[in-house]
Amino acid sequence: MIGMLSHRVPCMTPQTRSGYGMDERRICVRNMSKTPTPLRHIGIIMDGNGRWAQARGLARVRGHECGVDSVRAVTEEACRQKISQLTLYAFSSENWKRPKIEVSTLMRQLRRFLVEERGTIMDNDVRLTAIGHEHRLPDSVRRELDATREMSQNNKGTNLCLALSYGGRQEIADACRRIAEEVRAGTLEPSAVSEAEIQKRLYQPDMPEPDLVIRTGGELRVSNFLLWQLSYAELYVTEVLWPDFREQDLIDAIAAFHARERRYGGLVDQIGKKS
């Protein structure tokens, strides 16, 4: 699904898609963020890399390579927007089924990204974390992931969480397995199993639930991404392919989020908004 990037290639930067300039749009979004609909966590399903490359007569991996510019642009804009967490679906558990040459290329690009983007991460006070079955990643990738994670662990800005070898069903199954082991060991009573207990055993228990999930490339599905956490997330789908997704596109998604009413299963007047 999603390539994470590193080698720099010339990419087409989309033009501004509204009548506002970039700075004006940022001001509008900041003003909206003062409303009673806080936006703490954005998740992104970064889709369309292969289609972007094929449309240009390039190998699929070139789309993954070009996506690094989008990751950098979106991460920096998330920092400017004071987003607490940005979770990027970088490599799914299903992506291991891809052709071996594509998977090995993606792993090399991921390793390069973890090294080359350390300056961007530190300059923006970003804290890097990851979720997923990291043990399946090549040793070289795990070493660089650990190094970048350790280097940035005391940063106070946006938490950039990479979903690597990740699947939402897999995460829930892992949490249930831990609960079953604790019940068998007698450290947890079956009657005590609750949503809160499952939450405690997820990969990142303190992760705020995503407020907004963006999918690029126009597909209308969540593709096994954060299935437990996105119960009440607002979904935003754009036709823009990931290598073309830039700051303006993120700002537009945030503006769309703030224009919505979030009810969490209740009525508008029950959550203190106008009916």
16 vs 2: CA distance, rounded Å: 25
Percent of the chain with pLDDT over 70: 83
What is the tens place of the pLDDT at every residue in 59-68?
A: 988 998 999 9
User: In sequence order, what are the residues at sequence separation of 6 or more whose Cβ sits closer than 8 angstroms to the Cβ of residue 256?
Assistant: 236
CB 236 within 8 A of CB 223: no
Please state, in angstroms and rounded to a whole number, the distance separating the CA atoms of residues 6 and 115. 9
Active site residues: 47, 95
Question: In the sheet where 212-215 sits, what is the strand order?
Answer: 127-131, 159-166, 85-92, 41-45, 212-215, 234-237
Residue 164: φ, ψ to 5°: -120, 130
pLDDT > 80? residue 18: no
Whole-number pLDDT of residue 87: 98
pLDDT of residue 3: 42
Tens digit of pLDDT for each residue in 67-91? 999 999 999 999 999 999 999 999 9
**The pLDDT value given to residue 266:** 67
pLDDT for 19 beyond 60:
no
Q: What is the mean pLDDT of residues 178-191?
A: 98
Task: Of 200, 256, 262, 252, give the one whose Cα is nearest residue 231.
Answer: 262
More confident residue, 33 or 23: 23
Residue 262: the pLDDT is: 83
pLDDT band at 168 (very low <50, low <70, confident <90, very high): very high
Tell me how far apart the alpha carbons of residues 131 and 171 are, in angstroms, rounded to a whole number.
9
What's the pLDDT score for residue 21?
A: 61
Provide the pLDDT confidence category of residue 22 given band limits of 50, 70 and 90: low
261 contact partners, CB below 8 Å, separation of at least 6 = 268, 273
* Secondary structure element (H or E) that encloses residue 42, with its range: strand 41-45
Predicted pLDDT at 37 = 73
State how far the alpha carbon of 71 is from the alpha carbons of 2, 109, 196, 264, in Å. 11, 13, 32, 30
**Which residue type sits at 115?**
V
Per residue in 95-154, pLDDT (tens digit) is 999 999 889 989 999 999 999 999 999 999 999 999 999 999 999 999 999 999 999 999
- Residue 267 vs residue 186, higher pLDDT: 186
d(CA 275, CA 268): 6
Q: How far is CA 1 from CA 24, 77, 138, 212, 248, in A?
A: 34, 23, 19, 20, 23
With a cut of 70, say whether residue 273 has pLDDT above it. Answer: no
The answer to whether residue 227 scores a pLDDT higher than 90 is: yes
Tokens 């991996």 correspond to what residue?
61
* Confidence (pLDDT) at 103: 94
The pLDDT value given to residue 11: 53
Nearest 5°: the CA angle 86, 92, 97 is 165
Average pLDDT, the chain: 88
Question: What domains can you pick out in the chain, each with its CATH number?
Answer: 36-167+209-258 (3.40.1180.10)
β-bridge pairing 41-45 and 85-92: parallel
Q: Is the pLDDT score of 164 beyond 90?
A: yes
User: Residue 49 above 90 pLDDT?
Assistant: yes
pLDDT classification of 255: cutoffs 50, 70, 90: very high
